[in-house]
Amino acid sequence: MAKDFKPLQESLGIYFENVKLLKQAFTHSSYVNEHRNQHLQDNERLEFLGDAVLELAVSDYLFNHFPNMKEGQMTKLRAAIVCEASLVEQAESLNFGDFVRLGKGEEITGGRNRPALLADVFESFIGALYLDKGFDEAVNFLKKYVFPKIDHGDFFQVHDYKTQLQEYVQHDNLGNIVYQIIDEKGPAHDKVFHSQVLIENKVFGVGIGKSKKESEQKAAYLTLVQLGVLKEFSVNK
């Protein structure tokens, strides 16, 4: 565990004016309970604030980058972005667990790697960043670490573009949809699949993914782009 928060600030390129806020974001209630004489505050209030900041920032991003996406679709996509599993992945990628201040009992029982704890710390950090530097800086942090994952299609597994395409095609009587695997590359343990969508034998989107399902979802998305239903971003990465 790091002795101070200088390495974290250096790795993020973010330097807090009020370092106490940063420390509080990484302070678990078990640590506060074991150090009562220090009059510390845990990160629970910052978690509450960070959750709201994160929801607003993600909502704003989706609203402005997906002008044709319906409310229900944005709600589902936002839920996938801010769910516990996603926040844990973010926290782990930034090594947040190394900086959490835990009580001895919580440390012994593996609290540092507990998903709920890591997700809470990520939200607490967002809350602390918002208080220290404002909403714009919190958004800049998300632009660097979270929003690119949306653009790269990391949340395709929870966003069903095939169903959306099927509903659109049926509604407008555009014909039959066929998905074809047109190429497979790489060794058996690390294959990459290329899928294409045909509507009435006309080729539309071609998607690339590490599974047939993922490549078809991306192909369906790109078809929706070609049909003018959705705005394009990079998915074949």
Residue positions annotated with a catalytic role: 51, 123
Whether residue 218 contacts residue 207, with contact meaning beta carbons closer than 8 Å, is answered with yes
Coil vs helix vs strand at 184: strand
- Residue 38 is which amino acid? Q
Q: How far apart are CA 62 and CA 67, in angstroms?
A: 8
94 half-sphere exposure, CB direction, 13 A CA radius = 26
Q: How far apart are CA 163 and CA 143, in angstroms?
A: 29
Coil vs helix vs strand at 26: coil
Burial class (CB in 10 A: 0-12, 13-18, 19+), 207: buried
Least Cα distance to 164 among 72, 78, 84, 91 occurs for 72
Least Cα distance to 128 among 17, 31, 7 occurs for 17
5: phi then psi, degrees, rounded to nearest 5? -105, 10
Looking at the DSSP assignment, which residues form a beta bridge with residue 28?
A: none
Q: How far apart are CA 15 and CA 7, in angstroms?
A: 10
